[in-house]
Amino acid sequence: MARKVTSRRVWVSTAAAWFFGFLIFLPILWMVLTSFKTELDAFAMPPKFLWFHWTTENYATVQERSDYFHHALNSLIVAGGSTLIAMLIAVPAAWSMAFAPTKRTKDVLLWMLSTKMMPPVGVLVPIYLIYRDFGLLDTRAGLVFILCLGNLPIVIWMLFTYFKEIPKDILEAARMDGATIGRELIYVLAPMAIPGLASTLLLNFILAWNEAFWTLNLSTLDAAPLTVFIASYSSPEGLFWAKLSAASTLAIAPIIILGWFTQRQLVRGLTFGAVK
Amino acid sequence: MATQQTQVLGRALLTPAVALLFIWMIVPLAMTIYFSTLHYTLLDAESERFVGLENFRYFLTDPAFLTSLQNTLVLVGSILAITILLGTPLALLLDQPVIGRSAVRLMVIAPFFVMPTVSALVWKNLLMHPVSGLFAWIGTSFGLTPIDWFTDAPLLAVILIVSWEWLPFATLILLTALQSQDEEQKEAAEMDGASAFSTFIYLTLPHLARPITVVILIETIFLLTVFAEIFVTTGGGPGLQTTNIAFLIYAQALIQFDVGNASAGGLVAVVIANIVAFFLVRVIGRNLET
């Protein structure tokens, strides 16, 4: 039962929550506002908050000058591809550990988790040299491969925690009725597993989209996703605030929207089920 | 009981994932260990030869290593402190009856989804610019002299940016934990006349101990290798002021092309991360029933 709360307390906590929420959101809001300014207004002092000349020309310029969509497509292919391949490998593995556990399952799970803890910089040198020798530097395939491996432990873990929650009795019942494993998978398991599969897919797409160690070190132009494209704005001669803001807004908008849908699954995915 | 057939199938389904992760873990790591015993620079590949532990001696006694180790510790420690100390009250606040709570939640969680290169550049330019940044304007409005963040306090600037990225993570996890707290227990305490403060100290804080541990361990794993934010804002400088271990190894590998030395550094980073991982795996393993 909800506790009785005084209306004064509600107003105080509401005001405080909105204030701090707004404060945290402010950098993103400011970036979006700046993306609609002229370069001159973007630098204006005192800053112009809403009463400036609104323009969308920055968005057009970003595409014209630096081929935004080429990099957006790279992001889509790299994040989407690595997530899909990781799912293809992870679904059978998680299924097997959740429904046919052995004595060693716990150790296998924890070992998989520990591979995620290896700092990427510890293997930067060999990966870079292998990629150079196999011609994988600055290729989409190379990025798909490395991000897939990097996220595989998280994908397996998330799927495992979802699969664990599917009641086993239902499978036993299906088996009693003479269902083969294939039919069991398609007609019994799949419908119950779809919400978990969807949120795993989404969260890992987001993680891969935002990954900025391997993408910065292994791609420069042809395969460069948006993380690398935005980094190119860090050079002083490329410093146009309104254009940087427009490019940034385009790069993060789709992901923030996806992220808002998955925020509840986020906790489970990133804490490996330790907090639900 | 799983049938014989299921057991065999289970093993077959698990094998690809285990094999891939095993190769992913062993091959590069073995190569790193091998390279770390060589004198090997990409600029002069001919000079490749075995030098034993020379690279480790060089890396560990290099003054840059101590500086970057210190920067790494300051970076990780400060960001942990900031995200926990701000995240806890924020989570408590969001756990209160708030009108439009889901909208506030959306605003609070948003920074976590911003790619690191975007947050770093937006903060560096739009907010922290000493002349035209939003902070400079706020500062001068209060009669303060704006500081040139990336010249005068570069490490603090990086700390603030990364803290902003990770505050939502800490808040969201603590909020999730708070919402699973036993309401009746709190009600009983209230009826017995316990103050809000002692309810917090004796009921809420112990309940949060575990999620806070999880936040600390997971953040540490990721914060030990902060890279993109440094890469696009300071490039490790000025001097070595914002070089952490991850950036130092990157610089040795891909700027100075010193493969042997960077590999030795990489192994040092692996050891440091493993110390943290040891504790994290234990915490997670404890509530894992298979």
Residue A2 lies inside a defined structural domain of this protein: no
Residue B24 within a domain: no
Domain annotation covers residue B119: yes
pLDDT-derived band at A76, boundaries 50, 70, 90 = very high
Domain count across chain A: 2
Q: Say yes or no to pLDDT of A35 above 50.
A: yes
- CA-CA distances (angstroms) from residue A185 to A61, A99, B274? 50, 11, 38
Whether the predicted pLDDT of A172 surpasses 80: no
Same domain, A41 and A139: no
Asked, for residue B130, whether it belongs to a domain, the answer is yes
Please count the residues of chain B. Answer: 290
For an interface test with A, give the residue of B85, B107, B124, B257 to mutate (most A CBs within 10 A): B107
**pLDDT tens per residue, range A187-240:** 777 788 888 888 888 888 988 999 989 999 998 888 889 999 888 887 765 568
Same domain, A77 and A162: yes
Residues of chain A with Cβ-Cβ distance to B220 below 8 Å are none
Q: Are A137 and A131 in contact (CB under 8 A)?
A: yes
Which of A34-43, A84-93, A267-276, B14-23 has the least mean pLDDT? A267-276
- Residue A273, Ramachandran bin (φ over 0: left; ψ between -120 and 50: alpha; else beta): left
Tokens 């959306």 locate to B106
Query: Which CATH number does the domain housing residue B221 bear?
Result: 1.10.3720.10
Residue B286 has pLDDT above 70, yes or no: yes
A109: in domain: yes
Q: Of B6, B20, B32, which has the smallest distance from its Cβ to A122's Cβ? A: B32
More confident residue, A48 or A149: A149
> Is B247 a domain residue?
yes
Whether residues A119 and A31 fall in one domain: no
Name every chain B residue with its beta carbon within 8 A of the beta carbon of A16: 93
Same domain, A49 and A165: no
Whether residue B46 is contained in a domain is answered as no
Q: How confident is the model over A120-148, as a mean pLDDT?
A: 90
Number of independent structural domains in chain B: 1
Residue B17 in domain = no
Instruction: Classify each residue of A87-105 as buried b or exposed e, where b means 16 or more C-beta atoms within 10 Å of its C-beta.
Output: bebbbbbbbbbbbbbbeeb
Q: What is the CATH number of the domain that holds A238?
A: 1.10.3720.10
Cβ contact B122–A244 (<8 Å): yes
Residue B258 bridge partners (DSSP): B41
Residue A240 lies in a domain: yes
B238 prior amide bond cis, ω within 30? yes
Stretch A78-88: mean pLDDT? 94
Do A244 and A223 lie in one domain? The reply is yes
The answer on A100 and A83 residing in a single domain is yes
Q: Which residue of A has its CA nearest to B25?
A: A115
Q: Would residue B188 count as lying in a domain?
A: yes
Element (H, E) at B149: helix B149-152
Residue bearing the bigger pLDDT, B111 or A161: B111
Strand partners, B135: none
Query: What number is the average pLDDT over the span B57-71?
Result: 86
CA–CA gap between residue A156 and residue A150 (Å, rounded): 12
Range of the domain at A70: 66-270
Percent of chain B residues topping a pLDDT of 70? 97
Per-residue model confidence (pLDDT) at position A27: 94
Note the pLDDT tens digit of each residue in B230-279. 999 888 878 888 988 889 888 888 887 888 888 888 888 888 888 888 88
Summarised one tens digit per residue, pLDDT across range B8-59 is 887 888 888 888 888 888 888 888 888 888 887 777 767 777 877 878 888 8
Nearest to B287 by CA among A233, A271, A175: A271
Split at pLDDT 50, 70, 90, the class of A168 is confident
Say yes or no: A217 and A197 in one domain. yes
Do residue A91 and residue A178 come from a single domain? Answer: yes
pLDDT digits (tens, 9 = 90+) for B135-192: 888 888 888 888 888 888 899 999 999 999 999 999 988 998 888 777 777 778 878 8
pLDDT tops 80 at residue A141: yes
Q: At B1, is the pLDDT very low, low, confident or very high (cuts 50, 70, 90)?
A: very low
> Could you say which residues from 73 to 132 on chain B have a Cβ atom under 8 Å away from some Cβ of chain A?
90, 93-94, 96-101, 103-119, 121-127, 131-132
Q: Cβ distance A250 to A62 under 8 Å? A: yes
B111: nearest CA partner in chain A: A25
Per-residue pLDDT, averaged over B194-212, amounts to: 83
Identity of residue B78: S
Query: How do strand B38-41 and strand B44-50 relate by DSSP bridges?
Result: antiparallel
- The pLDDT of residue B2 is above 60: no
Do A32 and A96 sit in the same domain of this protein? Answer: no
Distances (CA, A) of A217 to A191, A225, B25, B205: 40, 12, 19, 42
Given a cut of 70, whether residue A2 has pLDDT beyond it is: no
Q: Is residue A117 part of a domain?
A: yes
Per-residue pLDDT, A17: 93
In a domain, A157, yes or no: yes
pLDDT surpassing 90 at residue A75: yes
Q: Supply the pLDDT for residue A1.
A: 41
| Residue B13 lies inside a defined structural domain of this protein | no
At residue B180, the pLDDT reads 79
Chain A residues with beta carbon closer than 8 angstroms to that of B104: 17-18, 21
Asked if the structure places residue A163 within a domain, the reply is yes
Within 10 angstroms of residue A186's Cβ, the number of other Cβ atoms is: 12
* CB spacing of B273 vs A259 below 8 angstroms: no
Q: Does B8 touch chain A (CB under 8 A)?
A: no
Domain that holds residue B267: 57-286
CA distance A78 to A217: 15
For B167, phi then psi, to 5°, come to -55, -45
Q: State chain A's mean pLDDT as an integer.
A: 84
Residue in B110, B125, B131 nearest the CB of A239: B125
- Residue A82 within a domain: yes
